[in-house]
Every structure is written in structure tokens, then in C-alpha cells.
Amino acid sequence: MTAAAAKRKPPTQNPGEKTDPWALRRARNLQILEARQLAKLSWLVHGFSTRPGGVSELEASRDGGKIAENVLNLGFTDWDTRESVLENRQHFFAALKTSDMRVIALRQIHSDIVYTVTGLNSPPPADAPKGDALITNQPGFLLVVQTADCVPILLADKKRRAIAAIHSGWRGTLRRIAEKTLGRMQMEFGTRPQDVVAGLGPGIGQCCFEVGPEVAAEFEAKFQEAREWFKGPFDALARGDNDPNWLPWLTMRPPGHQLPEPRVHLDLISANRAILSAAGVPPRNIFSSAFCTACHTDLFFSYRRERITGRMIAAIGIG
């Protein structure tokens, strides 16, 4: 861990937790973020990738200037080569000690589609199904989701030995994808919510995630407690009292110089914690990393902050 990263260690997230529930560990010159409660399960492997290391070269903004840095890009982006991404993935999976496991990924579409992986239906890498959550109770599979601001969520049923990997941006959160994934685990594997441990990895924080009135209105329509997850004029935006251009003569501004559209800041982490808790997962079993990807682009990728950037992977498997 770098000295700068060490200063930003996430605070304890759960009441009564005596030690930091997250750890950055070094493996094969990479830094991998782990949830300690998931790491305690001997039958489970998991990890959240970070930015440093790798063989991909990306131009990044640092201290007011541009520098080229080597990064661990794990997504097939326009600016990177397929060969570099495959090499990065090989290094990451080796660092997780999962090289002998079959990697299962999705074509993520910001949906609430949950895909069940069995030994019979596991898709080939070139034909990944569309969806945003994976579940299985079969050993030998490594479930992965990619993120660069959206919240990666890993679930583990301690009793039934079933797992899930979830990609939850604001659209997935609005569709309650974490709750629906848990419901599918109940249907498929007999999972009880009280037996589940949830790790919510690095995502964009409320400090940096600015959204408009259409998002506020959708959340207000779907969640009774939505107001708790927003900072700013949520009530006005959710009601539609947000047109800054009405009677512009009152502002004494000439045409073309109207006030900007009002915005609010959404806390995706709190929203997903609340969704999981309402679905029956004990709050003491829900751990969020407290890292904002947009604040810490030295350690993570952020599409919102950088636009041209890489992708991280959250991975979980049964060994």
C-alpha cells in the first residue's frame, strides 16, 4: 500500500467493529481490496481490483498536468489493446490465486437481470449473456463484474455456500438489483438473508455523484426513504419544481443566460445498504469500503471524473 493510500484507509462501517473491515493487500505487484468478513470464509475467494500496476498505458491528469502511467485496466476499452487487457486479467486472477477457475462475466446493460451459473449452462467467454448480476453455488467458477464508478456488490451465503456478484449503478439501484439477486439466491439455493455477508466495493461517492431532476423524481417514486440518500434540493426536483428558466425577467438575465438546471447528489452506497437491509440482510453483515472512485483516481478508475479511463473488476468464487 502506498503512503497516500494508507492515509485514506476506510473507516469502520459497522457498529461494534473493532478493526478496519477492509484491507488492501499486495500480491504480484498489485493492490487488491478485500472485505475482511468475506476473507474469513475459507471456502471463498474474492477481491476488488485497483488501478496501479498492469501493462496498459493511460494518460492521466496529475497535479495540473498530464502523465502517462501503467494501469491495471481489466475492461476492453477503445483506448487499450486486447492483448494488454488479457495480460492484465491474467495477472489479476493469478494474484487472487484463481487461475484454475473459469471466469464468468456478463455484457452489463444497467438492468435488473440476474443470471444463474451452473456446471451445465456456463457461457463461453465470447458469448457472455446480457445482465448485471451473477449467482452460483458451484465451485470452480469466478463470477466477475466490471465497474468504473458504479457500485460492485459481492454476496456470500455462509450456510448454503452460495455467492453473487452484482453491478449496481443508479439504474440498477433504482430497479433494486441487489434485492432481486438475493431473492434469486433464495429461490435457487434456499439462501436466508440473515446468513448473507455483503461487501460493497469502491464506487462514486455522494460527494461527487451529481444527478438531475429526472433521477431524483424516479427515486422519489420508487423509495419512501429516497430523500435520505440525496443532498441538495431533492424535494423541489422530485416534485418537478425545478425549471430555472420560468419568468426569466425576474432574474434580470438576458435570453440565453438563464440559470443552470439545479442538481442533487446521490449516495449510491447508502441506497444499496438500505435495500439489502430491507431485504433481510443484517446491517452488521453489510460492509462498504468508503472509497469514492472519483476522489481517488490514483487508486481507482472513474468514468465520471476522467471519461477516458479503465475498468476494475470485482470477483468472487467458491474454491
Q: What span, in angstroms and rounded, lies between the C-alpha atoms of 132 and 121?
A: 17
Which domain does 97 fall in, by range?
24-209+267-318
Q: Is 192 inside any structural domain? A: yes
Q: Are residue 260 and residue 141 in the same domain, yes or no?
A: no
Cα dihedral 310, 75, 138, 285, rounded to 10, equals 20
pLDDT score, position 308:
95
Q: What span, in angstroms and rounded, lies between the C-alpha atoms of 288 and 279?
A: 17
Q: Is 78 inside any structural domain? A: yes
- In CATH, what number is assigned to the domain containing residue 123? 3.60.140.10
Q: Are residue 133 and residue 252 in the same domain, yes or no?
A: no
Q: Are residue 143 and residue 199 in the same domain, yes or no?
A: yes
CB 207 within 8 A of CB 293: no
Domain boundary among 264, 285, 301: 264
Task: Kindly report the backbone phi and psi dihedral angles of residue 135, in degrees, each rounded to the nearest multiple of 5, phi listed first.
Answer: -135, 150
Q: Are residue 199 and residue 219 in the same domain, yes or no?
A: no
Q: Are residue 253 and residue 290 in the same domain, yes or no?
A: no
Q: Are residue 250 and residue 166 in the same domain, yes or no?
A: no
pLDDT score, position 193:
98
Q: What span, in angstroms and rounded, lies between the C-alpha atoms of 172 and 150?
A: 9
Domain tally, the chain: 2
Q: What span, in angstroms and rounded, lies between the C-alpha atoms of 144 and 125?
A: 12
Q: At what angle do helices 177-189 and 268-278 cross, to 10 degrees?
A: 30
Domain boundary among 240, 264, 288: 264
**What is the pLDDT tens value at each position of the chain, 319 positions in all?**
344 444 444 444 454 445 689 999 999 999 999 999 999 999 999 999 999 999 999 987 777 777 889 999 999 999 999 999 999 999 999 999 998 999 999 999 999 999 999 976 677 666 789 999 999 999 999 999 999 999 999 999 999 999 999 999 999 999 999 999 999 999 999 999 999 999 999 999 999 999 999 999 999 999 999 999 999 999 988 887 655 544 444 455 566 555 667 899 999 999 999 999 999 999 999 999 989 999 999 999 999 999 999 999 999 999 8
Q: Is 13 inside any structural domain? A: no
Q: Are residue 171 and residue 253 in the same domain, yes or no?
A: no
Q: Is 305 inside any structural domain? A: yes
Q: Are residue 54 and residue 127 in the same domain, yes or no?
A: yes
Q: What span, in angstroms and rounded, lies between the C-alpha atoms of 293 and 200?
A: 13
Q: What span, in angstroms and rounded, lies between the C-alpha atoms of 94 and 116?
A: 25
Q: Are residue 249 and residue 279 in the same domain, yes or no?
A: no
Q: Is 10 inside any structural domain? A: no
User: Is beta strand 162-168 parallel, antiparallel or unpaired with respect to 133-136?
Assistant: antiparallel
| Maximum alpha-carbon separation in the chain | 68
Q: Is 292 inside any structural domain? A: yes
pLDDT score, position 126:
67
Q: Is 1 inside any structural domain? A: no
| pTM for the full predicted model | 0.89
Q: Are residue 160 and residue 174 in the same domain, yes or no?
A: yes
Question: Cell numbers of 69, please?
Answer: 502511467
Q: Are residue 158 and residue 253 in the same domain, yes or no?
A: no
Residue entry with cell 491474467? 90
pLDDT score, position 62:
72
Q: Are residue 65 and residue 96 in the same domain, yes or no?
A: yes
User: Is beta strand 52-62 parallel, antiparallel or unpaired with respect to 141-147?
Assistant: unpaired
Q: Is 6 inside any structural domain? A: no
